[in-house]
């Protein structure tokens, strides 16, 4: 099967990292994992994999390109994944062979050790993976994939610890960057978050005897699991039978959860830090309306990620909310091979303007972010061609001026519009009447920090906006990446 294709007009958004899910203590656990991965599909559409364990059949795995619904709903596949313990992963490549995924790159990864087998699924990015990989290869490790996550398996193999749980701790103490990990042995389901808690991981209860680990709470909802709590930054949980043991294998650190989870990555029906993602996004729109008001006739979201913020902007400003742009709901991530003619149609294959509504109106368009700015220009052209009198962009995040090295596929800095242009220059380049971004303080207020961002001790990782990296990206620095100078 050919590698899964990303749609050619989806290259102007920051790409979701990955989604991980695990279940223990229920019959046909892999079916629950498939359902959970389906709920996490927004975090990765390139490929997916599931591993299960059954005492009579051992470890079994299935890895496929494409959507969960196209691969893990078939009886002939799910029958090969028996057992009451299972983990899974949906992938968008943030490390390794981006855009040219081989099946060997698809997680979960599996290793057979002297004390038994272990499978691992990882969300995030290891910022010292290149250095670790060189070291491991020099010492005899043979890598099967291009993924940074495989380093964890090889580090486990070199550990002298006597149990797989301890070997996981040993391995993760060697890595840098961001990681939320779900792992399984023959009897245990294991979850770990890095000391900064950059990537999410939550614990749920499934019936009387089952447990689940998930990237987001929305995936617990789909299987009818009760959300218990978030796995805390720097915490490791080991679930065996009806027992949940917790340890803290890392040195303490002040948490720095990724703020872009609130802006875009997480589903709006998920809960983060006890707070509804939808409500945070709606509140971003409220902050935008306060910070950047403008006289207009309509507030319209850029579907679908701009919708909650557009609702908040409308409610705060009193300007009517309207669906000025309609999204083609059946536009998948795959499509016909894009000829030049098709490419020139641009974003029209995905979005269409509601002409009867837009004509003659002063329109505020609310979007979640501007990365390269190419899609923003295309949308502006469509709105003007439909007869809009004015077009004003309001962006529900600060300018994205720095690349992410913690599990998000960000273009290199020179391709980020905000890294090379001022806000006024971006406005002129996109060609709109006005362009305003929510401030970093406004984003923090929307996320529950009433006083805005504490520059000395920020609550979130906001490096893509501020250039303030909580973990130095060792590999990128070695390649010549220059960190932002301290102010």
Name the active-site residue from 18, 404, 461, 464: 18
Helix-strand-coil split of the chain, %, nearest 5: 30, 25, 45
Helices and strands (DSSP H and E) totals, the chain: 18, 23
Decide if 267 contacts 216 (C-beta within 8 A).
yes
Non-local CB neighbours of 135 within 8 Å, separated by 6+ positions? none
Q: Please spell the DSSP secondary structure of 251-306, one letter per residue.
A: ------EETHIIIIIS-TTSEETTEEHHHHHHHHHHHHHHHS----SEEEE-TTTT
SS3 126: strand
Non-local CB neighbours of 122 within 8 Å, separated by 6+ positions? 18, 20, 89, 107, 149, 152, 179, 180, 181
The upper half-sphere exposure of residue 173, i.e. CA atoms within 13 Å in the direction of its Cβ, equals 13
SS3 148: coil
Non-local CB neighbours of 443 within 8 Å, separated by 6+ positions? 259, 262, 263, 284, 287, 397, 398, 453, 462, 465
Burial class (CB in 10 A: 0-12, 13-18, 19+), 459: middle
Q: Please spell the DSSP secondary structure of 206-236, one letter per residue.
A: ETTTEEEEESSHHHHHHTTPEEEEEPPTT-E
Euclidean distance between CA atoms 302 and 469, whole angstroms: 30
Euclidean distance between CA atoms 274 and 162, whole angstroms: 37
Q: Is 18 a catalytic residue?
A: yes
**What is the chain's length?**
487
Decide if 58 contacts 131 (C-beta within 8 A).
no
Catalytic residues: 18
């Amino acid at each position: 099967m050919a590698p899964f294709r990303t749609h050619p007009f989806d290259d102007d958004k920051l790409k979701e990292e990955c989604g991980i899910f695990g279940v223990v203590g229920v019959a046909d656990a892999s079916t629950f994992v498939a359902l959970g991965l389906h709920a996490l599909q927004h975090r990765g559409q390139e490929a997916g994999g599931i591993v299960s364990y059954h005492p009579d059949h051992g470890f079994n795995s299935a890895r496929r390109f494409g959507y969960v619904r196209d691969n893990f709903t078939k009886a002939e596949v799910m029958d090969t994944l028996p057992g009451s313990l299972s983990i899974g992963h949906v992938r968008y490549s943030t490390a390794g062979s981006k855009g040219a995924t081989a099946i060997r790159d698809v997680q979960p990864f599996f290793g057979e050790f002297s004390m038994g087998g272990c499978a691992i699924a990882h969300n995030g990015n290891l910022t010292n993976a290149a250095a670790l990989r060189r070291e491991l290869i020099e010492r005899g490790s043979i890598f099967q994939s291009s993924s940074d996550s495989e380093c964890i398996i090889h580090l486990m193999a070199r550990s002298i610890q006597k149990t797989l749980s301890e070997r996981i701790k040993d391995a993760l103490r060697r890595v840098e960057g961001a990681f939320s990990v779900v792992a399984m042995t023959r009897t245990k389901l294991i979850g770990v978050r890095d000391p900064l808690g950059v990537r999410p991981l939550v614990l749920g209860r499934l019936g009387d005897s089952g447990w689940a680990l998930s990237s987001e709470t929305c995936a617990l909802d789909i299987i009818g699991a009760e959300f218990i709590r978030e796995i805390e930054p720097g915490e490791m949980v080991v679930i065996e039978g009806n027992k949940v043991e917790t340890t803290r294998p890392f040195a303490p650190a002040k948490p720095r959860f990724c703020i872009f989870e609130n802006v875009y990555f997480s589903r709006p029906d998920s809960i983060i830090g006890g707070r509804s993602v939808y409500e945070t996004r709606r509140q971003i729109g409220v902050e935008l309306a306060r910070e950047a008001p403008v006289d207009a006739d309509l507030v319209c979201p850029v579907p679908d990620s701009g919708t909650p913020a557009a609702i908040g902007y409308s409610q705060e400003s009193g300007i009517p909310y309207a669906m000025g742009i309609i999204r083609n709901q059946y536009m998948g991530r795959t499509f016909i091979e894009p000829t030049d003619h098709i490419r020139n149609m641009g974003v029209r294959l995905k979005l269409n303007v509601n002409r009867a509504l837009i004509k003659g109106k002063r329109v505020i368009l609310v979007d979640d972010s501007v990365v390269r700015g190419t899609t923003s220009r295309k949308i502006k052209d469509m709105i003007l061609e439909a007869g809009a009198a004015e077009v004003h962009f309001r962006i529900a995040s600060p300018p994205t001026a720095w690349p992410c090295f913690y599990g998000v596929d960000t273009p290199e800095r020179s391709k980020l519009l905000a890294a090379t242009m001022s806000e006024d220059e971006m406005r002129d380049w996109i060609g709109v009447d006005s362009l305003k971004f929510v401030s970093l303080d406004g984003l923090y207020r929307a996320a529950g920090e009433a006083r805005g961002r504490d520059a000395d001790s920020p609550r979130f990782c906001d490096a893509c906006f501020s250039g303030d990296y909580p973990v130095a990206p060792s590999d990128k620095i070695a390649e010549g990446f220059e960190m932002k100078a301290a102010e």
